[in-house]
Amino acid sequence: MSIFVILGLLVCIEAQGSSAVTPVFVKKGDDLTLNVDADVPEKFLVVYWIFNETVVRFTPDGETRISPPFTGRIEFPVKKFSVKLKNLQEADSGVYAARVLTLRGGVQPLAEYKVTVQGPVSPVELTVDSVVSRSSDSCNLTVNCSTQHSHISSTFRCVSRTCSQEGGERPEVTTSGASLHVYLLNSSIICNHSNQVTWTKDFKMIETFCPQYAGSEGSSAGTSVYLVKMVVFSVGLIIMVSAVITVHLMEKFRKHK
């Protein structure tokens, strides 16, 4: 196929428009398989995978040609016309489109993926900036959730072992496109830094900074354990007494008979 035909094909593809795009997120350095699930006409001229310039093309005689940027970085799975991209980097992010060219149908879309390659997120640190105890059963904590380039602050108020986050959860998107999120989970304040492929987190226990919270929680836990023990003991005692009475009655009945 001449260079003029290839250029004409690319123009046709741009004019044809795109089919439904499937978003895919990949960790930097990982591999990705792009499948062609659509039916390919038996009599076709060429099947293309397009990214910026042609990535790879398949001819009816089984020949494959790979563009220089992906030489040595593409494998071909068993599934026909599918490609496996190796060692993806952030520069490989973009739209990958599979097209087929036929004499009668012209250019037809086969598959389209929007690939986003992301590196691992940086570590995150959660610090408690201030603690205010207004009374014996209330405690306010202001925390700071930070990474190397971003941070968010939030305040938590605990009253009688019931804690809430003022203003609710307010995740923030960082300059790198990751999400910085601080929230409450049981008795822990958690700071989470994540994107679609990796995450890191740090946390603080509320009871470390609000002793009255731990005390009431311990008292409640102790009461719960005590109640459970009492119930178990009572049930066991009832079973034992019932067994003794049953044996006594059976013995008395046997002697009488």
Report pLDDT digits (tens) over 97-156.
999 999 888 999 999 999 999 999 999 999 999 888 877 778 899 999 999 888 899 999
Range scoring the smallest mean pLDDT among 54-63, 86-95, 108-117: 54-63
For residue 225, tell me if it sits in a domain. Answer: no
How far apart are alpha carbons 176 and 169 in whole angstroms?
20
132 and 177 both lie in a single domain: yes
pTM above 0.85, yes or no: no
**Average pLDDT, whole number, for the chain?**
81
| Region for residue 160 given its phi and psi (left: phi exceeds 0; alpha: psi -120 to 50; beta: otherwise) | left
Residue 105: Cβ-neighbour burial (10 angstroms; 0-12, 13-18, 19+): exposed
For residue 53, tell me if it sits in a domain. Answer: yes
For residue 111, tell me if it sits in a domain. Answer: yes
How far apart are alpha carbons 228 and 158 in whole angstroms?
27
Q: What's the confidence (pLDDT) of residue 27?
A: 94
What are 94's strand-pairing partners?
115
Rg of the chain taking only CA atoms, in angstroms: 33
Is-contact 206 215, C-beta < 8 A? no
Domain ranges, residue 187:
125-212
Coil, strand, or helix at residue 234? helix
How far apart are alpha carbons 238 and 64 in whole angstroms?
81
Q: Tell me, what CATH number does 89's domain have? A: 2.60.40.10
Is-contact 98 109, C-beta < 8 A? yes
Is-contact 115 22, C-beta < 8 A? no
Q: In angstroms, how far is the first alpha carbon of the chain from the final one? A: 108
**161 token code pair:** 């072992």
Residue 15's pLDDT band, with cuts at 50, 70 and 90, is very low
103 and 24 both lie in a single domain: yes
Is-contact 154 161, C-beta < 8 A? no
Domain final position from 79, 95, 118: 118
Q: How far is CA 136 from the centre of its chain?
A: 40
Number of domains in the chain: 2
Q: What's the confidence (pLDDT) of residue 232?
A: 63
22 and 43 both lie in a single domain: yes
